[in-house]
Structure 1
Amino acid sequence: MLTPEPRTAVNRAALALTGLALAAGGVWTATGHAAFAARLPGWWPRPPAGGFLVQEGALTALRTRGWWTPAVVTVGVLATAFLAWCFLRQFPRRGRSRLALAAPGSVLRVEALERALAQRVSSVEGVDRCRVRIHGPRRKPRLRMRVLLAAGTPPGAVLDALHAVTAEAQGVMAPCVLRSRVRLGQRARRSRHVR
């Protein structure tokens, strides 16, 4: 079963919030013009006539207050840390190298399971090569398979076998909930050259 990536929702939410903030800032800046100012509700902030939204005197008065500089630095550091965290979340993370299984005291090496699944899928007729990666949180790991089909093999011919392998992997990793994603590709046929 294919499931959407969690970071897709984070990306969309971050883009939506950034877009809303930029749109609000643009509307706020654009409505400083007298033609728009007359149509605004009473609570909307307005720059003084012929001036800027933040006057130079008001900005100087803010800088003399003791809380202004630490507040600006703190907001800058927090915004930078948040954006760096969002950037680092874009890269896939490897989970733990060992997973605890249902039987007491039993553990499973993730790399061994990846190799076993890759060999199992590669032995399916019509599959040329397979690469398997298991990553993500400990309780809900994600299984990614990249399967390269032999030339001329239709994808439908291997889907049942791939489903059986992912179901087998889910049984091995119980009680963890395994989410699977399979990407199929095909080796191109080599055309004969005539001399």
Structure 2
Amino acid sequence: MARTRTAVNRTVLGAVGLSLFLAGSWLTATDPAFADRLPTWWPAAGTGTVLLDRNRLAQLRGEGWWTPTAIAASIGLAVLFALWSLGQSRSGRAQPLALPSPGCTVRPQALAEALATRVTALPGITRSRARVLPRRGQRLEVRLRVWLEPDTPPDAVLPTLHTATAEADRAATPYTAHTRVRLSTAPHRTRHVR
């Protein structure tokens, strides 16, 4: 869902930006100072040009389809943007996860913090960051980002890392966790001579 939301947001922002850029470019062409510098294929616009003059607007209003179409398009755009705004606000705090004991719950953020603390304490690891995302049904998606010490090979850390993620899987027992680990090397700090 987050990837879909990001793709929709970028598409909407790109379309709005492109339309504003094109409208601004066309209106810039109405200035005589710029009109002389434009290529010959550029559509010419006269000084003081508007998109719809009063005569053309009155002619459109005289058509039977214009008013209902304009009202329907305005309502449709308003509803579309309202739904889009509501979709943005839904990404709030995740609901607590119910555990097998009656009345026991755990927040996904608490589980992620515990996993990150456990992984950071492992030898050869500088720091880590975890994210736990509840999915439909009894599934969890765990994203774990691990920064290794500069000279630590990944295969030296993988067995202990597997043990730590298995502990986290058991901690969220009724849920099955799908864990994705991303390994990075912490950058070397260059010593400066003073």
Which residue of 2 is the match for residue 125 of structure 1? Answer: 123
Which residue of 1 is the match for residue 78 of structure 2? Answer: 77
Using CA pairs under 8 Å that are at least 6 residues apart, name the structure with larger relative contact order, 1 or 2: 1
TM-score (norm 2): 0.57
Residues 108, 134 of structure 2: 8 Å contact kept: no
Matched, 1:171 2:177: no
Of all paired residues, the percent bearing the same amino acid is 32
Cα separation, 2, equivalents of 1:194 and 1:69: 71
SS at match of 1:184: strand
Cα separation, 2, equivalents of 1:75 and 1:152: 58
C-alpha distance after superposition, 1:112-149 (max 9, x if no partner): 42332122111211011122222344743332222121
- Which moved further from structure 2: 182-191 or 108-117? 108-117
Cα separation, 2, equivalents of 1:92 and 1:183: 24
Which residue of 2 is the match for residue 39 of structure 1? Answer: none
Cα separation, 2, equivalents of 1:153 and 1:92: 37
Structure 1 residue 100: Cα displacement: 0.7
Which structure 2 residues correspond to residues 59-70 of structure 1 after superposition, within 5 A?
Answer: 60-62=62-64, 67-70=68-71
Gaps of 5+ in 2: 16-55
SS at match of 1:141: strand
In the alignment, residue 115 of structure 1 is paired with which amino acid?
E
Compute the RMSD of aligned alpha carbons: 3.6
Matched, 1:187 2:189: no
Which residue of 1 is the match for residue 114 of structure 2? Answer: 116
Distance 1:103 1:94, change over 3 A: same
Which structure 2 residues correspond to residues 1-195 of structure 1 after superposition, within 5 A?
Answer: 6-8=1-3, 11=7, 60-62=62-64, 67-84=68-85, 88=88, 94-96=93-95, 98-137=96-135, 139=137, 140-193=139-192
Residues 150, 186 of structure 2: 8 Å contact kept: yes
Residues 146, 183 of structure 1: 8 Å contact kept: yes
C-alpha distance after superposition, 1:136-183 (max 9, x if no partner): 447433322221211111222212222222222222212223232322
Residues 147, 184 of structure 1: 8 Å contact kept: yes
Cα separation, 1, equivalents of 2:151 and 2:113: 26
C-alpha distance after superposition, 1:3-61 (max 9, x if no partner): xxx4445638x96xxx9xxxxxxxxxxxxxxxxxxxxxxxxxxxxxxxxxxx9856641
Cα separation, 2, equivalents of 1:160 and 1:127: 13
In the alignment, residue 127 of structure 1 is paired with which amino acid?
I
Distance 1:143 1:62, change over 3 A: farther
Distance 1:172 1:122, change over 3 A: same
